[in-house]
Amino acid sequence: MKITKAVITAAGRGQRTLPLQTLIDRDGTEKSVLGIIVEEILRANVEEICVVVRPGDDAPYAEVAGDHAGRLHFVDQPEPLGYGHAVYCAKDFVGADSFLHLVGDHLYVSRTDKGCAQHLVEVAGAQACAVSAVQATRENLLPYYGVVGGRRLAGESAGGARNPLELRRGRSGSVRPISACQGRGTVLGGGGAVHRSAQRR
């Protein structure tokens, strides 16, 4: 599976301005959060990038993307109908291709030379399946996050993490909570995923 496209969702009501904020990156350079996320995607050798925004937000996003603005495709999410709908809005951009998905209100931090997005793309290619990066969280915070179920993949390493997982649904179709990416190695500030096109399954 070759990943050539990425989708950044950034249309959430409370989070849509976070990618416009400026931070000091690891290299000491002042950058927008969106610029940092785009660089993370480019480090994974993914060149085509779509940003799902609220109508009218494409101009400020293009402005903070700086030199990367020309490579971004903007897609409107006309109504805030949820996270899944935001990904669905990018369907024409994605087509039948598998794609990398990052959320616009998270920074992806790796403790290795390899970026988190790069690692996701490599694991998806090696396993020929959809992959999600997850972060352990406290049970009382679960209402604020999605939960997943899974099993450990023997012999695999999630960027140095101790518990790489293959995701699966429980008997009832619901997903069960798990703890993943604990310990040293790649630590994700949120979630990232490689989605496999339904048309290729």
Average pLDDT over residues 137-149: 76
Looking at residues 25-39, what average pLDDT do you find? 88
145-161: average pLDDT:
57
3-state secondary structure 32-74: EHHHHHHHHHHHCCCCEEEEEECCCCHHHHHHHHHHHHHHEEE
Beta partners for residue 72, in sequence order:
49
Note the pLDDT of residue 138: 81
DSSP the chain: ----EEEEE---TTTTTGGGSEEE-TTS-EEEHHHHHHHHHHHTT--EEEEEE-TT-HHHHHHHHGGGGGGEEEEE-SS---HHHHHHTTHHHHTTS-EEEEETT--EE-SSSS-HHHHHHHHHHHHTS-EEE-----GGGGGGS----EEEPTT--BTTBS--EEE---TTSPPPP---S-SSS-EESS-EEEEPPGGG-
Q: Which CATH number is 5-200 given? A: 3.90.550.10
Q: What are 34-72's pLDDT values in tens digits? A: 999 999 999 999 999 999 999 999 999 999 998 999 999
- Domain extents in the chain: 5-200
Lowest pLDDT segment from 24-38, 125-139, 183-197: 183-197
For residue 94 the two structure tokens come to 């994605």
pLDDT at position 173, please?
36
Higher pLDDT, residue 93 or 128: 93
pLDDT at residue 195 in the model: 62
Chain centroid, CA 38 distance in Å: 11
Q: Give the largest CA-CA distance in the chain.
A: 48
